Structure 1
């Protein structure tokens, strides 16, 4: 190429030097252009951060620049020439002017700034991208999809999918309700352990479900095959961290009972004490967690897409069930429950098995063996059923009223008639807890029912419900008065069903009792069936009154009253000491006519901040509309058919730039409003969780 220059060395050197100078100038110009663009991008990024109210972030700005450069370049060519490089009338020579360079730089920077804001909207700063967690989540999602298909197929096969996806008016006749309840029970039994337990819990909610559903779901049972003895031994050794022979002198291979969550084996410790070993079924925890996640998701869908979901509080029901079931899977929690209940009823004749804490873990629990027969299979011919029933009722009421922690599922399978004539209470995976204030409210409710005092019962209910705003208290009082007249008049046979009716009244008025208080009524209703089985005709309400009167009589002696009065006097003493001075000050101001009341509606900083943000958004919205309309008006003045930027007059170009600037400002203000709304929604979700 340069062969002819070899004859003229001096001329060749000059040409090469000029070429190198030109290349260096070209490279320098490109570097300066890139530097100018980077500085412009940084400046606009800082401006966008200020205007949008988001923190400045250099990596996000780099990503936004990579997005904005090609988009802005293509947009600038289209705006400047009115055609694309593939058009036949495209003229690249017209792109060499300084006007196009300025327009292209501005378009790239604006596109990058819009991309920066879009990234903030899509992925707010603080969002952590975790590829490994995302991959694991995708795998779990695919597994969940398979489980969803299985559940949908079960529902569809039993004719229930229409009740899940469509709103029903609840006008079905009795035979249709019976068929629907039976289909629901069969579907839950087929879906597995978690859904069976959910159905069993729903069967106790007489306040939420019709009687036919309670009846059908109450028949649910989950028969499972026992885990092979080799796997049980392996699970126990792994959980205890030592060989089985170091702990047990004898370990029965055949299970005493096999359930869906765990199974029990008889054993003998090395010191000779007989025990029962409760072993969690291997691999049950991941299955339970997966199905609980599905139940939560289905509950949220039912809440949004059906009319019956919000009415029964399906989301709260699912959350409460999930919490209770996960607690049941932790045997250390159950051991703590047993110790707490035993401490609360230390004087009760009801036996509670002692837990050997040294051999208890999350998956294995070793407890004292009680010799006897479960109540469901016991022969009651030679037993005093009435006495046993009173002992059980007194034990549960003492747990509720005095200890504040009680057995929440006292069905016949958890009650054992001991060989020595005593009674044992088993399985403390599900317990209820009451704080002192709730126990006092429960006492007041029972006192109001005992006295047939509708006013006191209304006041007590409104004190304990979650949200009493907007309730028609007079209508509620009349409804409770009618309830008492129906159940508590002379000659009426009271039963624990009256508490179910009471919960239905509360639900009908849009109220909801605290879950722990509803658990008390459910436990009493569950126990009543057992008590009637032990002693036909057993009057649970009368016996509960007997217990309450005896307890109150013991608490109302002179010493207890004096101690209670002294405690209350000490609590109110500071207020009583300040009261005379405050009364004197008030009367003096009234006498001088200077008594005033100051009201500060926006005294709290959060209230003022809320009002300030609302005002700013209103002004921003007005400015957005005004600037948008102004840009449209200027476009109508400057734009014409087949007119491109290069052919416009200087005045038209200025007006066109102003129109585009107003349009960009309007777009930025819209983005600012969107980011503000997004932040408010994220803050609300954070508060909810």
Structure 2
């Protein structure tokens, strides 16, 4: 009973002592450190207190007075705490807090790593099977030197992406629109990638519908076709009727596709980071930035509420210009969710199969339909700031009277007012043949380094205008590719929203060519842009524009006299001061912080080295045990610290990134 009572008292004493050590260590360090490693340091302090006390105590403890014993015990506790703090600092250097996950995160992470490893092995086998493994080694080498070799490589890449699944198919489709990044052979091959898949069995589709709608499918729809109208890798579409007889289409996400896409996106982002770190072409390609933009767009496509909102926004924009004859299906908000989208069923035939219908309308009507579609796209880009980025023939319906219906707004482009204004200025400058104004508009659209040869850029843009924007030119969307290559050659980066505009026009050219063979996209866009500028400068609209500008300037103009008076008063009384914020730029702060850290490491390392030499030359000092003395132990410890710190400084100095 006495032993049990002793144990019951001893355990809380030990736990309390460890907690006191942990609190003291955290307070003395003054830095937030993880509680788990703090408790481990406290346990170390508790375990080392007794050996330190035994080493410092004389051979006959009975000769000590009570005060001496108390001081000796206090010294032992302080030394043990210092050793625990040193161990904690070393652990923070080697494994900073947060670098190791907790038990739950470690278990989940292990499961993710196993699944990722299986998927990695599958992707590696696909890459090797199609002869692409050599491009992941990171060593410089000569690429394909002829058009035929590039074609073979592009064909292998397309086959590998197609075999890898939905995420990589969509990545290939995105790359096919980036003519500034890939040679023409790759763009042509990747354009052939089709996002198609085998239909999901009806029972699985019905399960998704019932879970998302919260009721049986028969209650939500009077009739629904079990055979899909179309089946893609992300979703499939079924024709249906509401209880009141309204014809609708139901877009249902494939079960489990979100998990597959997230797993592949995780792998893709890791691969992009590896390629950018280890390969020169990955860095010039901007692999990590491109992968992040692609992941964001694909996640938006998986959330059907975003497409629902896009449909509502686009429908409001289309209602402002009903004469264009372009519309989008209206969504049914109460029946839509993240995985189900119910919308109006627009009449018409997909453009790819609508040639007989268009032939009956005649060339003049077809030309007007194509022009209206181009004007609608310009309205979306220049006026509303929300536009369809992938208007390929499969996403356009043609009604019997020539009216057009736009489908699949899961991923749209969005432009702020400044970007829309710069695009309008670019179109106006191209229409006038003004290369100086066009280059200025381009510089406001793209990301550019501090030093840009503007004169050379003006010459390049002037050549592009003469070659592609003069009347009678039939280059078409090749002008877009030439402009993007001009960006790359001058070190200009294309932001994702601006790249989406070029992608939209690149896709639109083929669509307009089916609506009206021979339709000149560049010339019509130039004329339409000039017409819009002329309309904006018309007397009836110019007055409104001037009034809007004055309304924006009025608050500033009202406050200007008061501010001038304050400045004059400050000058008169000698109170005018100029404040300059040093190191306001983050890069400057990082540079100075890095230099200070290196200087401090050098000083601390040198100090530790000097202290180590003094201790090693001062004899043995008190003995911790029979064979271990205190001064040599501390001296060698400080010598190790000095060597480590000096080596850390040297490796930073001599390293070449």
How far apart, in 2, do the equivalents of 1:95 and 1:150 lie? 70
1:224-373 equivalences in 2 (<5 Å): 224-346=197-319, 347=322, 348-373=324-349
Query: Does structure 2 conserve the Cα–Cα contact (< 8 Å) formed by 1:355 and 1:368?
Result: yes
Q: Who wins on radius of gyration, i.e. which is larger?
A: 1
* Secondary structure of residue in 2 paired with 1:399: helix
How far apart, in 2, do the equivalents of 1:576 and 1:94 lie? 90
* Secondary structure of residue in 2 paired with 1:416: strand
Query: Does structure 1 conserve the Cα–Cα contact (< 8 Å) formed by 2:26 and 2:32?
Result: no
Query: Does structure 2 conserve the Cα–Cα contact (< 8 Å) formed by 1:296 and 1:319?
Result: yes
* Secondary structure of residue in 2 paired with 1:600: coil
> In the alignment, what sits opposite 2:395?
414
Q: 2:117 aligns with which of 145, 167, 175?
A: 145
How far apart, in 2, do the equivalents of 1:557 and 1:491 lie? 28
How far apart, in 2, do the equivalents of 1:58 and 1:359 lie? 48
> How big is the shift at 1:475?
2.8
How far apart, in 2, do the equivalents of 1:208 and 1:481 lie? 22
Query: Does structure 2 conserve the Cα–Cα contact (< 8 Å) formed by 1:487 and 1:498?
Result: yes
How far apart, in 1, do the equivalents of 2:173 and 2:50 lie? 65
Query: Does structure 1 conserve the Cα–Cα contact (< 8 Å) formed by 2:428 and 2:530?
Result: no
> In the alignment, what sits opposite 1:86?
none
> In the alignment, what sits opposite 1:621?
601
Query: Does structure 1 conserve the Cα–Cα contact (< 8 Å) formed by 2:304 and 2:338?
Result: yes
Question: Unpaired runs of 5+ in structure 1?
Answer: 1-19, 81-91, 678-689
Query: Does structure 2 conserve the Cα–Cα contact (< 8 Å) formed by 1:625 and 1:666?
Result: yes
1:199-238 equivalences in 2 (<5 Å): 199-238=172-211
Query: Does structure 1 conserve the Cα–Cα contact (< 8 Å) formed by 2:221 and 2:242?
Result: yes
How far apart, in 1, do the equivalents of 2:610 and 2:353 lie? 86
How far apart, in 1, do the equivalents of 2:371 and 2:447 lie? 33
What's the Cα RMSD here? 4.4
How far apart, in 1, do the equivalents of 2:516 and 2:135 lie? 41
Distance 1:527 1:586, change over 3 A: same
How far apart, in 2, do the equivalents of 1:479 and 1:185 lie? 33
How far apart, in 2, do the equivalents of 1:551 and 1:425 lie? 23
Between 94-103 and 410-419, report the one with greater CA deviation. 94-103
> How big is the shift at 1:617?
3.8
How far apart, in 1, do the equivalents of 2:23 and 2:211 lie? 57
How far apart, in 1, do the equivalents of 2:42 and 2:559 lie? 68
Q: Indicate whether 1:555 and 2:531 are aligned.
A: no
How far apart, in 2, do the equivalents of 1:293 and 1:607 lie? 29
> In the alignment, what sits opposite 2:380?
399
How far apart, in 1, do the equivalents of 2:643 and 2:224 lie? 75
How far apart, in 1, do the equivalents of 2:410 and 2:103 lie? 38
* Secondary structure of residue in 2 paired with 1:366: strand
> In the alignment, what sits opposite 1:383?
361
How far apart, in 1, do the equivalents of 2:328 and 2:399 lie? 11
How far apart, in 2, do the equivalents of 1:299 and 1:609 lie? 29
Residues 321-373 of structure 1, C-alpha deviations (whole Å, 9 max, x = no match): 11111111122211111111111121231132222222212222222222322
Query: Does structure 2 conserve the Cα–Cα contact (< 8 Å) formed by 1:274 and 1:369?
Result: yes
How far apart, in 2, do the equivalents of 1:396 and 1:518 lie? 15
Query: Does structure 1 conserve the Cα–Cα contact (< 8 Å) formed by 2:326 and 2:373?
Result: yes
Residues 377-423 of structure 1, C-alpha deviations (whole Å, 9 max, x = no match): 22243233323221221221111111111111000111112134322
> In the alignment, what sits opposite 1:16?
none
How far apart, in 1, do the equivalents of 2:33 and 2:253 lie? 52
Between 298-307 and 240-249, report the one with greater CA deviation. 240-249
Q: TM-score, normalised by structure 2?
A: 0.82
Q: Indicate whether 1:566 and 2:547 are aligned.
A: yes
Equivalent residue pairs, number: 626
Query: Does structure 2 conserve the Cα–Cα contact (< 8 Å) formed by 1:45 and 1:56?
Result: no
Residues 150-175 of structure 1, C-alpha deviations (whole Å, 9 max, x = no match): 00111011111110122344542123
Question: Unpaired runs of 5+ in structure 2?
Answer: 653-657
Distance 1:232 1:71, change over 3 A: same
> How big is the shift at 1:482?
2.9
Between 241-250 and 597-606, report the one with greater CA deviation. 597-606
> How big is the shift at 1:555?
2.9
* Secondary structure of residue in 2 paired with 1:345: helix
